[in-house]
Amino acid sequence: MPKDVTEQTRPDLDTHLRLEVPALGIVMNYAVHRTAARNFMAKLGASHSAILAVVIDDGVLPATRMPCEELWR
């Protein structure tokens, strides 16, 4: 289950990750550690061209952390 962002937010280390599956109209927004986001996006880009991943540096963190974030650090 995704963790609430208030459990351990680090604005200096976290970023906003948006995942989109355009063909299905699915959009997911997560707070995630910057290193985990970078590693996740590198792996995703190499294997899943139907999913878009974008880091949004707007200073606003979504209310939910990315599930299994620790695996991507």
For the cut 80, the answer to whether the pLDDT of residue 5 exceeds it is: no
Q: Specify the pLDDT at position 36.
A: 93
pLDDT tens string 8-63: 667 678 999 999 999 999 999 999 999 999 999 988 877 777 888 899 988 888 98
- What is the distance between the alpha carbons of residues 58 and 67, in angstroms, rounded to a whole number? 21
Q: Name the domain count of the chain.
A: 1
Residue 24 sits in which domain range?
5-72
- What is the distance between the alpha carbons of residues 8 and 68, in angstroms, rounded to a whole number? 14
Mean pLDDT of 60-70: 90
Distances (CA, A) of 22 to 1, 12, 19, 61: 24, 30, 10, 22
Give the chain's count of helices (H) and strands (E): 1, 3
Q: Specify the pLDDT at position 11.
A: 66
Residue 33 falls in which region: left (phi positive, over 0), alpha (psi -120 to 50) or beta: beta
Q: Specify the pLDDT at position 3.
A: 52
Q: Specify the pLDDT at position 1.
A: 47
